[in-house]
Amino acid sequence: MKIIIIISLLICLPVLIGFGCEKQEEQPTRPDFGPDVKEIPADSLIPATEYTIAELGDHATPDDCWVAVDNVVYDLTEFAPEHPAGSEEVTRWCGQDATEGFDTKNMTGGSHSIRSKLNLDNYFRGNLIK
């Protein structure tokens, strides 16, 4: 019986000792702007162009299709023909605030994936001011 206990300990001990000893991945560090700065200074950011709803309306055709989603303006001219559900799903919103259409997949009750939302960044033009 003692031999079984000793063998069990010899087998289990390295597992127990090594458990949780994996090397932790290093987390990326933020730049150090000094002890008093908690966020990135605004003057280090690239300012975004601001557009009015009227300026957005100047881009209301399939050949020049800008939309706003959550007050951010995107040029979807090149993307519209690639849209999985067809270009019409995008071009119906050219020159307009398309937030409701984007959030509901044109009132079908669906919602776009996180990947779709991140993909919008590729078409960023600026911010919509109201």
pLDDT of residue 109: 83
The domain tally of the chain equals 1
In a domain, 62, yes or no: yes
In this structure, the dihedral spanned by the alpha carbons of residues 73, 47, 130 and 99, taken in order and rounded to 10 degrees, is 30
Q: What pLDDT does 24 receive?
A: 55
Residue 111 lies in a domain: yes
CB 112 within 8 A of CB 105: yes
The CATH number linked to 58 is 3.10.120.10
> ∠ CA 54-58-62 to the nearest 5 degrees?
135
Q: What is the pLDDT of residues 2-57, one digit of tens each?
A: 676 666 656 665 665 665 555 555 655 555 556 665 666 666 677 789 999 999 99
The secondary structure element, H or E, covering residue 66 is strand 64-69
Residue 54 has a pLDDT of: 97
Q: How far apart are CA 73 and CA 67, in angstroms?
A: 6
Is residue 24 domain-resident? no
Mean of per-residue pLDDT scores for the chain: 83
> H helices within the chain, ranges in order?
2-18, 53-57, 88-91, 99-104, 114-119
In this prediction, residue 1 has a pLDDT band, given cuts at 50, 70 and 90, of low
* Assessment of whether the complete model's pTM goes beyond 0.75: no
**d(Cα 119, Cα 73) in Å, to the nearest integer?**
13
- In this structure, is residue 123 part of a structural domain? yes
Instruction: Say if residues 74 and 124 touch (Cβ distance below 8 Å).
Output: yes
Choice between 8 and 78, residue whose per-residue pLDDT is larger: 78
In a domain, 70, yes or no: yes
* 22 domain-assigned: no
Q: Is residue 28 part of a domain?
A: no
What pLDDT is stored for residue 48 in this prediction?
A: 87
- The pLDDT assigned to 92 comes to 96
Q: How many CB atoms lie within 10 A of CB 46?
A: 4
Residue 63 belongs to domain spanning: 49-128
**Is 95 or 21 the better-scoring residue by pLDDT?**
95
In a domain, 33, yes or no: no
What are the structure tokens assigned to 43, written together?
């003057």
Q: What was the pLDDT predicted at 47?
A: 79
Q: Once rounded to an integer, what is the mean pLDDT over residues 74-84?
A: 96
